[in-house]
C-alpha cells in the first residue's frame, strides 16, 4: 500500500482529536446485536448459584431462567446458548441423557420458546455434559468412535429441533457430522433450522472454567486431542471449514477467540460466509479476574470484543454479553 503525503502536511492525530471525530472515522463497532449469551442451567427449583471458576456467571434452575431472559430481552441481545449441568447420576458412558426429551436443555428450550419467543436459541450438539467420562463422543475399543458417535448426535440434534431450537451447533468435532445432521433435519422437514458449526475448534486449555460449569472437568479422562484441533496448526482450517460448508453449515465458529484472531481473519478473507467467534470461559475469567482485581479497566471487555470485529467476525459468543450491552447503552 502506498503512503500518500507526509509530515508535516499530514498529521494523523488530527482525526483523533475529539470523540465525535473518532466516532466518524471508526471502522468497526460492537453492538448489542452482535452478542450471543451462553446460559448454564441446572436441575432443581428456585435456585440461582454462582460458578466458582467464572466469577459473575451463574447457573439457573429452569423456573429461574426468566430472570436472566428478561435482561436479554430488555437489552435486545438476539440469541442465547444453553448449556446443562447434568447431575452425576444421570451421566453414563454413552451420554443417554442427551436423548431424554425431558432433559434440562429440552425443558429450557420449551420455556424460552413459550415465554420469550423472539429470543433465538442455539444448542450444542455434543455428548460431554452427559457422559461419565466427559468426552464429546462415545468410546468403542478405547477410542472415541467417530461414526457411532454421529448416530447419537443426529438424534440429539433432531430432539433439539423438535423442542424449538433455532440454531444447532455441533461442537463435537466428529468428521462428517454436519452433513449427517443436515440430512436428518431436512428429512424431518426442519428446513429452517440453522447449523452453526464449531468448524474450527482447537484442543484448548482455555475451556477449563466451562468444564467446571457443566461438571465435566473432574470427570474428563485424558484430553480431547484426538478430535479437537492442534493449536500449532492453521492451514487445516481450510479443510475443516470447506468440508463443513459442503456438508451444509450455514455459519461457522472459531473457538477459542482471542488467541485465534489470525484464524478468524483467514476464514473471513477466504470464504464468503458468516464467521462467529467464541470468547471462551478461560478468556472470560482472565479478563474478569483482572477487572475484579483492578488490574484492568472495564473497557478492556469492549477492547477484547472489538478485536473480533476487526478480525472479521460478525458476532461473538461471550459471557460478557449482558455487561457489554449495558455498557454500550450508557455509552
Of 205 and 269, the one with the shorter C-beta distance to ligand PBG is: 205
11-45 as b/e: b if 16+ CB within 10 A: eeeeeeeeeeeeeeeeeeebebebbbbbbbbbbee
Candidates 13-21, 39-47, 205-213, 322-330; binding stretch for ligand PBG (CB under 6 A): 205-213
Q: Supply the minimum distance, in Å, between the C-beta of residue 16 and ligand PBG.
A: 35
Of 71-79, 121-129, 151-159, 176-184, which segment contacts ligand PBG by CB under 6 A? Answer: 121-129
Per the residue annotation, which of 64, 91, 224, 255 is the catalytic one? Answer: 255
Strands 58-61 and 48-50: antiparallel
Could you say which residues in the range 34-63 bind ligand PBG, by CB under 6 A? none
Which stretch in 18-26, 111-119, 207-215, 257-265 sits in contact with ligand PBG by CB under 6 A?
Answer: 207-215
Q: State the minimum distance, in angstroms, from the CB of residue 184 to ligand PBG.
A: 20
User: How many other CB atoms sit within 10 Å of the CB of residue 220?
Assistant: 15
How many Cα atoms sit within 13 Å of 287 on the Cβ side?
Answer: 20
Residue 124 in contact with ligand PBG, rule: CB under 6 A? yes
171, 197, 285, 304: which one binds ligand PBG (CB under 6 A): 171
Among candidate residues 64, 91, 201, 309, the one labeled active-site is 201
Q: Is 162 exposed, middle or buried (0-12, 13-18, 19+ CB in 10 A)?
A: middle
Asked if residues 312 and 269 have their Cβ atoms less than 8 Å apart, the reply is yes
**Rounded Cα gap, residues 169 and 122, in angstroms:** 7
**What letter does residue 260 receive in the DSSP assignment?**
G
Q: Which residue is nearest to ligand PBG (CB)?
A: 210
Give yes or no: 255 in active site: yes
C-beta closer to ligand PBG: residue 66 or 290 = 290
Instruction: List the one residue out of 266, 302, 287, 256 whose CA is nearest residue 29.
Output: 302
Please tell me whether residue 281 binds ligand PBG under the rule CB under 6 A.
yes
136 binds ligand PBG (CB under 6 A): yes
Q: Does 211 bind ligand PBG (CB under 6 A)?
A: yes
Q: Between 256 and 267, whose beta carbon lies closer to ligand PBG?
A: 256
**Counts of helices then strands in the chain (DSSP H, E):** 11, 12
d(CA 307, CA 313): 9
Instruction: Specify the residue, 122 or 161, whose C-beta has the smaller distance to ligand PBG.
Output: 122
**Residues assigned a catalytic role:** 201, 255
Amino acid at each position: 500500500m502506498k503512503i500518500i503525503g507526509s509530515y508535516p502536511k499530514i498529521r494523523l492525530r488530527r482525526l483523533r482529536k475529539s470523540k465525535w471525530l473518532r466516532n466518524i472515522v471508526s471502522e468497526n463497532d460492537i453492538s448489542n446485536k452482535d452478542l450471543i449469551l451462553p446460559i448454564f442451567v441446572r436441575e432443581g427449583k428456585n435456585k440461582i448459584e454462582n460458578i466458582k471458576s467464572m466469577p459473575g456467571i451463574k447457573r439457573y434452575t429452569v423456573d429461574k431462567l426468566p430472570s436472566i431472559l428478561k435482561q436479554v430481552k430488555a437489552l435486545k441481545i438476539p440469541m442465547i446458548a444453553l448449556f446443562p449441568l447434568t447431575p452425576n447420576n444421570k451421566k453414563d458412558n454413552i451420554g443417554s441423557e442427551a436423548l431424554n426429551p425431558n432433559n434440562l436443555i429440552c425443558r429450557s428450550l420449551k420455556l424460552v420458546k413459550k415465554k420469550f419467543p423472539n429470543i433465538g436459541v442455539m444448542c450444542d450438539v455434543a455428548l460431554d455434559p452427559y457422559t461419565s467420562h466427559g468426552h464429546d463422543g462415545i468410546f468403542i475399543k478405547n477410542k472415541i468412535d467417530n461414526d457411532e458417535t454421529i448416530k447419537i448426535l443426529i438424534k440429539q440434534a433432531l430432539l433439539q429441533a423438535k423442542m424449538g431450537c433455532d440454531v444447532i451447533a455441533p461442537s463435537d468435532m466428529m468428521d462428517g457430522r454436519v452433513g449427517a445432521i443436515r440430512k436428518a433435519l431436512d428429512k424431518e422437514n426442519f428446513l429452517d433450522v440453522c447449523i452453526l458449526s464449531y468448524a474450527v475448534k482447537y484442543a484448548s486449555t482455555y475451556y477449563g472454567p466451562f468444564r467446571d460449569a457443566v461438571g465435566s472437568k473432574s470427570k474428563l479422562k485424558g484430553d480431547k486431542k484426538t478430535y479437537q484441533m492442534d493449536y500449532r496448526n492453521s492451514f487445516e482450517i481450510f479443510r475443516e471449514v470447506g468440508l463443513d460448508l459442503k456438508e451444509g453449515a450455514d455459519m461457522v465458529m472459531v473457538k477459542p477467540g482471542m488467541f485465534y484472531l489470525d484464524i478468524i481473519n483467514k476464514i473471513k478473507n477466504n470464504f464468503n460466509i458468516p464467521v462467529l467467534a467464541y470468547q471462551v470461559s478461560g478468556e472470560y475469567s482472565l479478563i474478569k479476574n483482572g477487572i475484579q482485581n483492578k488490574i484492568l479497566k472495564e473497557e478492556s471487555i469492549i477492547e477484547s470484543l472489538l478485536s473480533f470485529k476487526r478480525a472479521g467476525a460478525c458476532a461473538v459468543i461471550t459471557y460478557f454479553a449482558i455487561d457489554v450491552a449495558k455498557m454500550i447503552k450508557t455509552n
